[in-house]
Amino acid sequence: MTCCPHCQGADRFFNQRIAAADLRDYRRHGPSGTTKRLLDALQAGGVAGLTLLDIGGGIGVIQHELRAAGVSAITGVDASRAYLALARQEAEKRGYADNVHYVHGDFVALAERIEPADIVTLDRVVCCYPDMAALMTNAAARTQRFLGLVYPRDGWWTKLGVRMLNLYPRLRGDAFRTFVHPTAAVEGIIADHKLRRIVHHEGALWQVAVFAR
């Protein structure tokens, strides 16, 4: 396990209580709006037989859904031990845990040890990492076919909202923070790795994008 101070904060922030609530909500309602939009876009490109690297995958919604759609092998990386435990529990319940490799820690620090995959996903993860350039460089470098993102729009309203959200961990003395990284900077790094955007949707707060090699 390798974790920076920020990721250690994420491990504490995304605890057993939050993970259990997320899993209950998923079991009742399925994937949420932006996650479902990302899944629909990826499945439209065809996923059967492909491999998946899910970075910051939480309780494994993308993993469970794409496995059901035919993905052959999965690597799930997360800084939260609680999330990884419940992702594994759900995979066992669905009968495919032997096809998943779970990694606890900071993806950027671990990236050299993680194999490339046909599909790489970061669902609401870019906003949870301080060094966006390192995160996206390593994610794009490990993408063989499709890179899927859900991350905040960089409007003034999202920046204001994030400042307010960060008051809570700051008051607690926690290292975890949320970020709004510039869209142009995120997409510039992806373009440098010869990936082109094929899907883009903007909501009020979040944007969904898929890039292809």
Q: Which of 89, 114, 109 is nearest to 7 (CA)?
A: 109
| Superfamily classification of domain 5-212 | Vaccinia Virus protein VP39 (3.40.50.150)
Mean pLDDT of the chain: 92
Structure tokens at 172: 């607690």
Q: Which of 50, 95, 37, 76 is nearest to 213 (CA)?
A: 50
Query: Is the pLDDT confidence value at 3 over 60?
Result: no
Q: What is the dihedral of CA 159, 55, 32, 166, to 10 degrees?
A: -30
Sequence-ordered list of residues with C-beta below 8 angstroms from that of 89, at least 6 positions apart, any chain: 23
The pLDDT value given to residue 85: 94
Full strand arrangement of the beta sheet holding 100-104: 100-104, 73-78, 51-55, 117-123, 143-152, 206-212, 196-202
The pLDDT value given to residue 16: 83
Instruction: Give the model's confidence band at 44: pLDDT under 50 very low, under 70 low, under 90 confident, else very high.
Output: very high
Q: How far apart are CA 164 and CA 133, in angstroms?
A: 24
Structure tokens at 153: 């729009």
Structure tokens at 194: 């010869």
Mean pLDDT over 84-103 rounds to 96
Q: Which amino acid is at 99?
A: N
Domain ranges of the chain: 5-212
The DSSP letter of residue 56 is: T
Output the CA torsion sign for 84, 199, 108, 99.
Answer: positive
- Greater confidence, 52 or 1? 52
Strands 143-152 and 206-212: what pairing?
Answer: antiparallel
Mean pLDDT over 44-56 rounds to 96
Q: Give the H/E segment covering residue 9.
A: helix 5-13
Q: How many CB atoms lie within 10 A of CB 34?
A: 18
